[in-house]
Structure 1
Amino acid sequence: MTLETERPATRAWVLHPDIRSDRDRRAAGPALEEAISLAAALPALTIIGSDIVPLPKVQPGMLFGSGKIEELRLKFKFEELELVLVDSHLSPVQQRNLEKEWGVKILDRTGLILEIFSDRARTREGVLQVEMAALSYQRTRLVRAWTHLERQRGGLGFVGGPGETQIEADRRAIDEQLVRLRRQLDKVVKTRELHRKSRAKVPFPIVALVGYTNAGKSTLFNRLTGAEVFAKDMLFATLDPTMRRVQLPSGEEVILSDTVGFISDLPTELVAAFRATLEEVLDADLIVHVRDISHEQTEEQAEDVHAILNSLGIGEESPMIEVWNKIDVLDTEEADAVQAQADRRDDLFAVSAIEGTGLDRLLAAISIKLRPNHTTEVIDLPFSAGKKRAWLFGQGIVDDETQTEDGYRLTVTWSEIQKNKFAQQ
């Protein structure tokens, strides 16, 4: 039965400004495709059409030149559009001026990604982070809530909200709310920190899946764990880290973590807000970088992922393997070429998470990577170092222990990772 309260999907158009003067300019075709995929991630929208708009340079007040603005105004009027998504970062002045000229709601890349994050966040921490990011964004502009964009799950007010009301919070009110949210987030983060410490007592290594959004991380996670994490051919399908225990073919157990997908040109507000979401990656014993090898921009996507990892302090020396996913999408010749490359390297694996191809070899490699060369050493601990001693026994790496006048002398056999973790105790 169809509910009478359901609203028709909002008619939207996607514009990608191809700014020739931008040194960091992306290839226009793939950039537009990604923007369309972003828009398609919101169920409230129906994408009517899209355009690439070549721009020699940005016009400060309008972004586009007057001739192009008039041309687009007529097109939008003819198509009876309600929303235009501009795949760029608009200033508040540009947004207001374009809305006035075209008579439609305007949403820039930052606002769109915030809306998607709001729609996808599931945990308390994720919701708080989205709200904080949204407030930081709203601080520079007041955004109307249009009733025809209202969704059942609500929204941030950019593309949906309850009623024809306006967001009338001034900067002081927003700042006060940000302070309240930070306090709540601090409590949530402390709770998660306790959970992380309790997990550290369990001798299970953490394996973190990372990768560009829509690379197939959640599908791979589901295949390996049997979990039912939301996995869909959609950008930002996963926003909150999900963790499950997995038994490797060797019998060892690991904790597998699925994380938020990375994306190029991520809004500054979200890089800061979602840093805590990637904490699992910082603690990981092994990082598995999942790539959509069928995507024409797979190399550029991989560069974006490495750039974000580097910004988190994760460098080339960190234990990492690369998974080239979606080989089932390739034709036979391409798939054979990819497999040949993977066969020549011990840190590269060609798989199909959908079909399960190549996963046995991947799991065996994870087991080997998590059991690097072990060294046997003798360490002395004072009686006061009870926690350190308990940690060593908890890891199951103590071969022998004798008591001395000053404390304990232990013989341990451990990996470099365990040795580093012990130094941090």
Structure 2
Amino acid sequence: MHDIRLIRDDPAAFDAALAKRGLSPLAADLVALDERRRAIVTELQVGQARRNEASKAIGAAMAKGDTAAAEALKAEVAALKTRLPQLEDEEREVAGRLKAALEVIPNLPADDVPMGGGEEDNQEVARWGTPREFDFAPREHADLAPALGMDFETGARLSGARFTFLRGPIARLHRALGQFMLDVQTREHGYEECNPPVLVRDEAMYGTDKLPKFADDSFQTSDQRWLIPTSEVSLTASVMGELIDESVLPLRLTALTLCFRSEAGAAGRDTRGFIRQHQFEKCELVSIVRPEDSEAEHERMTRAAETILERLNLPYRKLLLCTGDMGFGARKTYDLEVWLPGQGAWREISSCSNTGAFQARRMNTRYRVAGEQKKTEFVHTLNGSGLAVGRTLVAVLENYQEGDGSVTVPEVLRPYMGGIERLETR
């Protein structure tokens, strides 16, 4: 959410930042709405003061026997009693229009985010690892994995398209990946493990910028709760409405949860395989920090995600997303893309974003500045995947596959696999 006061103070800067996102100027319309709202508030306050003043004056006029003055004052008060509710309704209507306009405007990009219209303009920042050379033609996971227990047919029969049923050791490998991720993030990177709800109210979705703009991308239950698209929602919203003491910052939270997405905007994409599911698991990373710490925290969080890929010996590249490819709430985003030899392509496996104060304003989450009893500021929030479990499973299957259709279990996962070192065809 944007602060209308900042827009009012420098509308040209706001429009210039929107232009980097490929959006037309909006400041003039927003400021005009705000001026109208403020004018109504002023008229309302003046009217309320005059009503109170005139009401008192009626008694004084009556005491003096000035019936004409008293009647005039009564008429004035009666008119104000009619007008003031109208002004209150007008103020609510204009304020609602202003809020509705502000809440669908994306976050403004950081100064070092490259300009661009789409993924072709993203900047590769770094690359790690060397893709494996195979002495056979590597297969895509969708062709390789069914013989290992990745049952697409049963998943579709139970729930429809984009659902999968895992069986046996491949299900255990999926679980092992999630546990491994949690262990690394909690033991080595200082994230606190959480087990949050996966059903949340409107307020949590709104505060983390998923509503109203992306309602169609999520599932809602009959009692109006939302299935989380990522535990970013639950973890970030856990501080919703709070005034945090500066001494406890930074807060670093992680959770391995089910996530649910309708994939409304992904029709026809990745219809084969395990890449884009309606239900999946993800190890989420969330940080709540002081504004001056958010840039360094962004680098730290991204490094925490990179660590998982390196421990699994999965080649990847790190991209700085351009203005046209960043998510709605982000001011700066790094994507990590893993190499999939079966596809012969780099595919996103993690996205780490600094949202600045964008979500904090929506959630009204502040911290009390140390030594300043009355001074408070909005926190900055960050979120990232550390990692998406299903996509990591896909990467392991394709990178560790063997010519006979089996898959070698990465060494770091073997302690979680009860001695299983290879997934064999069923």
Query: What is the TM-score of this pair, normalised by structure 2?
Result: 0.24
Q: Larger RCO: Structure 1 or Structure 2 (Cα < 8 Å, ≥ 6 residues apart)?
A: 2
Which structure has the larger Rg over C-alpha atoms?
2
Query: What is the TM-score of this pair, normalised by structure 1?
Result: 0.24
